[in-house]
C-alpha cells in the first residue's frame, strides 16, 4: 500500500500523514480538528475549512476556538477575552471655555441633557446541544503499535475518547465492543471502561441472528457494534455518531446513517493505516466542502493519533 502524502503548509515539501515536523524546513505541523488539513502549529484558522482555532496553553494542541477543554491533555480552557483598544482622550475644556461656547450657540443647538435609552432585555443565545453517540472498536485500538507499547491503561484511553466525544456535544451513549480472547486483560479493560460510563458488548451477547452466517471471527466485533448502533439510534437518539475504528465493515451502515440525515465521524489511526479507503470516498461526497443534497447528513474523518499526541514527551 502506498503512503498517503500531504504537503508542508510552509514550504510545500511532501510529507507523510501523521508527521509532526516538516523534514525540509522544520516547521511544526498540526492537523485541523475538523478536516485534518495540515497547518502550522501557530495557525489561528484552517485555510481549508475556515475553522477558527486556538492552542491549548498546556500542550499547544490546536483546538476549536470555542473548545471548553483540551481533548488531548484535558486542560480546562477559559474563554478568550477580547480587550478593546483604549482611545486617546480628548483634552477637557475649562469651565470658562464651556460657558463661552454655550453663550455663542443658539438655543436650538444647545446640548440636551443625556437621557439613558430604554434598555431592552438581552435574550441569551440559544445553545445548540447535539446528542452524541460514541462507539468504540476496542480491539482495533489494541492493534495500534504505539498504543500497545505505551503502557496506557484502558482507563486513560477511555478518558481521551470521552473528551473527544464531549467536545462534540452531550454524550448520550458510550459503547465499546471488546472480544475477551483478543485483548490482553479483558477483566481489567472491562472494569476501567465501565467506571467511565461505557457499556461493554462482545460477540455472543444478545441476539446473534443479525450476524451474517459467513461473518469471520475477525470481523464479528464490527457487526456487534453495528447492531448496537441500530439499537441506540432507536433508544438514545444520537444526532452524531462517533465511530472509533476505521474498518471497512461499517461503510454501508455509515452511508445509511448519512442518508437519514445523521452526522458521522470516523476516528482511526493514520499511523497504523487503519482507515479503509472507502471512507475517503465518503468524505468527497459528504465532507464539509461537498455539495450535499438537502436533508443529507455529513461525514468527517479524525486522526486518532492526533487525539493521543504522537509526540508526547512522557
Distance CA 304, CA 274 (A): 10
Distance CA 110, CA 174 (A): 69
Number of separate helices (H) and strands (E) present in the chain = 9, 12
pLDDT the model gives residue 106: 62
Which sign, positive or negative, has the C-alpha torsion 293, 232, 76, 141? negative
pLDDT the model gives residue 89: 58
pLDDT of the chain along its 314 residues, tens only?
334 456 777 777 776 666 667 777 777 777 777 777 777 777 777 777 777 778 887 777 777 777 777 777 767 777 765 545 455 555 665 666 666 766 666 655 555 554 554 544 544 444 458 899 999 999 889 888 888 888 889 999 999 999 999 989 999 999 999 988 888 889 999 999 999 999 999 887 654 444 444 444 557 778 889 999 999 999 999 999 999 988 888 888 999 999 999 999 999 988 888 788 888 888 888 887 777 778 889 999 998 988 886 445 44
User: Strand 299-303's sheet: what is its strand order?
Assistant: 199-201, 170-177, 131-137, 240-245, 263-268, 299-303
Burial of residue 90 (CB within 10 Å: 0-12, 13-18, 19+) is exposed
CATH fold of the domain at 131-307: Rossmann fold (3.40.50)
Name the residue ranges covered by the structural domains of the chain: 1-75, 131-307
pLDDT the model gives residue 177: 92
Cell numbers for 30: 498540526
Query: pTM of the entire structure?
Result: 0.57
Radius of gyration for the chain, computed over Cα atoms and rounded to the nearest angstrom:
27
pLDDT the model gives residue 190: 93
Q: Which long-range contacts (CB under 8 A, 24 or more apart) does 185-188 make?
A: 188/153, 188/154
- Of the candidates 309, 218, 312, 263, the one whose C-alpha atom is nearest the C-alpha of residue 31 is 309
Q: Which residue bears the cell 438581552?
A: 122
- Of the candidates 231, 229, 264, 238, the one whose C-alpha atom is nearest the C-alpha of residue 130 is 238
Backbone angles phi, psi at 301, to 5 degrees: -115, 135
pLDDT the model gives residue 244: 94
Amino acid at each position: 500500500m502506498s503512503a498517503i502524502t500531504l504537503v508542508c503548509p510552509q514550504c510545500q515539501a511532501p510529507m507523510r500523514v501523521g508527521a509532526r515536523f516538516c523534514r525540509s524546513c522544520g516547521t511544526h505541523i498540526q492537523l485541523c480538528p475538523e478536516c485534518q488539513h495540515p497547518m502550522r502549529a501557530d495557525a489561528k484558522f484552517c485555510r481549508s475549512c475556515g475553522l477558527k482555532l486556538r492552542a491549548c496553553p498546556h500542550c499547544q494542541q490546536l483546538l476549536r476556538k470555542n473548545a471548553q477543554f483540551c481533548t488531548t491533555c484535558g486542560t480546562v480552557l477559559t474563554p478568550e477575552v477580547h480587550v478593546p483598544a483604549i482611545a486617546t482622550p480628548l483634552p477637557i475644556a475649562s469651565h470658562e471655555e464651556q460657558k463661552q461656547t454655550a453663550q455663542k450657540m443658539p438655543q436650538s443647538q444647545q446640548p440636551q441633557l443625556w437621557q439613558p435609552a430604554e434598555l431592552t432585555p438581552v435574550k441569551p443565545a440559544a445553545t445548540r446541544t447535539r446528542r452524541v453517540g460514541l462507539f468504540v472498536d476496542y480491539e482495533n485500538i489494541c492493534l495500534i503499535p504505539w498504543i500497545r507499547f505505551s503502557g496506557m491503561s484502558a482507563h486513560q484511553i477511555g478518558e481521551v475518547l470521552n473528551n473527544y466525544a464531549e467536545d462534540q456535544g452531550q454524550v448520550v451513549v458510550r459503547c465499546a465492543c471488546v472480544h475477551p480472547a483478543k485483548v490482553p486483560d479483558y477483566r481489567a479493560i472491562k472494569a476501567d471502561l465501565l467506571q467511565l460510563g461505557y457499556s461493554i458488548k462482545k460477540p455472543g451477547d444478545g441476539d446473534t441472528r443479525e450476524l451474517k452466517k459467513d461473518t469471520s471471527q475477525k470481523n464479528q466485533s464490527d457487526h456487534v457494534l453495528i447492531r448496537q448502533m441500530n439499537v441506540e439510534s432507536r433508544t438514545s437518539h444520537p444526532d452524531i455518531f462517533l465511530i472509533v475504528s476505521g474498518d471497512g465493515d461499517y461503510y454501508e451502515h455509515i452511508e445509511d446513517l448519512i442518508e437519514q440525515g445523521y452526522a458521522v465521524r470516523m476516528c482511526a489511526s493514520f499511523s497504523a493505516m487503519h482507515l479503509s479507503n472507502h471512507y475517503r470516498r465518503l468524505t468527497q461526497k459528504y465532507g464539509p466542502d461537498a455539495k450535499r443534497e438537502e436533508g443529507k447528513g455529513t461525514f468527517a474523518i479524525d486522526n486518532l493519533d492526533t487525539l493521543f499526541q504522537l509526540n508526547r514527551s512522557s
